[in-house]
């Protein structure tokens, strides 16, 4: 565990891969540039809600399989 987390180590659970945190709340290991990145999926009465971190910043990233980033014409 990183030294800056030792003060709260008694409140942390280190996960390895996908896991159910609580009923209806799951974390999923993601690929990407940051090792250990996870998404959180919360099952709601209507549909699941997925918090993707920086893997998908806009619907276009998912719909068009376009990586996140910003383009500008300088």
Say yes or no to pLDDT of 69 above 80. no
Is residue 72 assigned to a domain? no
Report CA dihedral (42, 64, 37, 17) to the nearest 10 degrees: 70
pTM: 0.64
Cα distances from 62 to residues 39, 42, 65, 70, in angstroms, run 14, 18, 5, 15
Is 70 contained in some domain?
Answer: no
Domain count, the chain: 1
State the residue for tokens 């891969």: 17
Q: Could you tell me which of 44, 47, 65 has the C-alpha nearest to residue 56?
A: 65
Q: Tell whether 40 is covered by a domain.
A: yes
Within a domain: 22 = yes
The reply to whether 6 falls in a domain is no
Parent domain of 22: 13-63
Which tens digits make up the pLDDT trace of 10-58? 888 888 889 999 999 999 988 766 777 888 999 999 999 988 877 777 7
Residue 44 placed within a domain: yes
pLDDT at 72: 66
Contact between residue 30 and residue 24 where contact means Cβ atoms under 8 Å apart: no
On whether residue 3 sits in a domain, the answer given is no
């Amino acid at each position: 565990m990183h030294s800056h987390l030792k003060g709260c180590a008694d409140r942390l659970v280190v996960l390895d891969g996908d896991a159910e945190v609580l009923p209806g709340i799951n974390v999923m290991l993601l690929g990407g540039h940051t090792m250990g990145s996870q998404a959180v999926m919360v099952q709601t009465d209507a549909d699941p809600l997925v918090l993707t971190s920086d893997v998908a910043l806009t619907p276009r990233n998912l719909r068009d399989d376009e990586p996140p980033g910003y383009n500008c014409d300088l």
